[in-house]
Structure 1
């Protein structure tokens, strides 16, 4: 009798383990399917405000071609680099990067005013969950969010909620709020994927949050012909060594700092301008990894606000 009971228990645990592995494999395939060649449309509209006198801002609509390149694929970490392709195929802009990490117990949570704080999570907090870590065009942090992939009735979806800096489309135009609380809903479609957002625009001051407006966002990624991305792929081959070193340099900064704050400008230059110039120079002069990291560290140190 006891032998049968032990066999039954072993069988149950075996089934649970197999289901967990199948779920992890489904998660990984869903994440990797985000890579590819896309026509992207961006649509944002403010929807509600608690202030009757609030003046709603104009809707934002734009489109672009984008290639999303799988640059790392390990069992519990997947890295995808996005590149904007403009002027046909002749102008490339390094765009955002997304790192997906599984059951990651450390995140950088956005505070306000270009500052982030390291947060430790318990194993229960992250069990079965993926963190999407989104980085700026210069690989500095943007936001990090935790959620579970769900695979039901042929639908593959990941949801999360987190704080972030102002979106790039408003960061140079508005100063009436300083935190964007993002309700992220990412799901696969028949011809690509959709990044649906329910956002809250917040003023954070003196430990309190004040909502000024809500916003709906739809970013639709539709697969397109890869032929027009040849120049972009070649551009990345020339630049990828530099940006690999940039990722490693930033990782060292993240590891060393529990609180991270960056200056927006130094000598009237934005951080990404410095990085883009270094990337071009490195590719042209074929810098070594050591020289890349030395130049990158110098730039990061200049923008990093020292703790007082």
Structure 2
């Protein structure tokens, strides 16, 4: 059967239209992700909403409301990868290297949190992540935290990304709670006229070694990032300039570990100190061999 020239032309035009549309969407996605960079006054809000089990002895976490000034640095800017480093400013000029978020286009390799400092490696089919962006979130020491994939939505004047994935307990919880070990997070990142919003609908879960889950409670989170002048975050910019080489060495070391594409389990502490304390004690001029050695000491084989 011969294909008519008109049909062939129509098919070519359709494919071209799809490719142009995908590229246009990708540009919108990148614009939205980069919009999260800059200087922000942040308000953190968390409260438990439902208790699943009826237990008169159960004590929910207290409602958490906190404030901060945060600088979000664009560390890497590539067509398929954007790296955003958060730096928290405490007081006038004390800096805490905060969480990091990497955005990867059509990524297929994942480290999914299981429980108890263990992440399971999972590889998806490229068809499953077509047009999607993976958000990989890391701890303050650049060790893994959680990650998930979804499409950015640009509709009705709104720009947002939404995904549900499992994560370790955040610092505000693991310092006071020992009765659950997984936080299933529905994360929504939305770009707004004042900056951006990180909304969370979380489930507090008890998971056993077989992967069976029991829900303990649910939680609502609302983090508001209000854009302010970059000049308010000069201290964070200065810190990053002085320490970015050391932290790149740390990221590079983790990358070699992740590239092994196998399950990962970490020690909680070495020499009675968690990983972040070992790294926070270092100076910006610390050689890579030293940071490599510290990180290696936390990897369980």
SS at match of 1:186: strand
* Mapped pair 1:72 → 2:67: no
2:281 to 268, 271, 277: 277
1:228 to 227, 232, 254: 232
What is the number of residues matched between the two proteins? Answer: 296
Q: Which has the higher helix share?
A: 1
* Mapped pair 1:107 → 2:110: yes
* Higher deviation after alignment, 1-10 or 221-230: 1-10
| Residue aligning to 1:177 | 180
Deviations 1:184-219 (A, max 9, x none): 111111011101000000000132101000000001
SS at match of 1:258: coil
Instruction: Give the Cα–Cα distance (whole angstroms) in 2 for the partners of residues 111 and 86 of structure 1.
Output: 32
TM-score (norm 1): 0.94
1:126 to 121, 124, 129: 129
| Residue aligning to 1:48 | 50
Residue 257 of structure 1: CA displacement? 5.1
| Residue aligning to 2:208 | 205
Structure 1 ranges of 4+ moved more than 3 A: none
| Residue aligning to 1:14 | 16
TM-score (norm 2): 0.96
Is there any run of 5+ residues in structure 1 with no aligned partner, and where? Answer: none
SS at match of 2:77: strand
Residue 55 of structure 1: CA displacement? 2.7
1:138 to 95, 120, 141: 141
* Mapped pair 1:162 → 2:157: no
Is there any run of 5+ residues in structure 2 with no aligned partner, and where? Answer: none
Instruction: Give the Cα–Cα distance (whole angstroms) in 2 for the partners of residues 222 and 157 of structure 1.
Output: 16
Instruction: Give the Cα–Cα distance (whole angstroms) in 2 for the partners of residues 79 and 259 of structure 1.
Output: 23
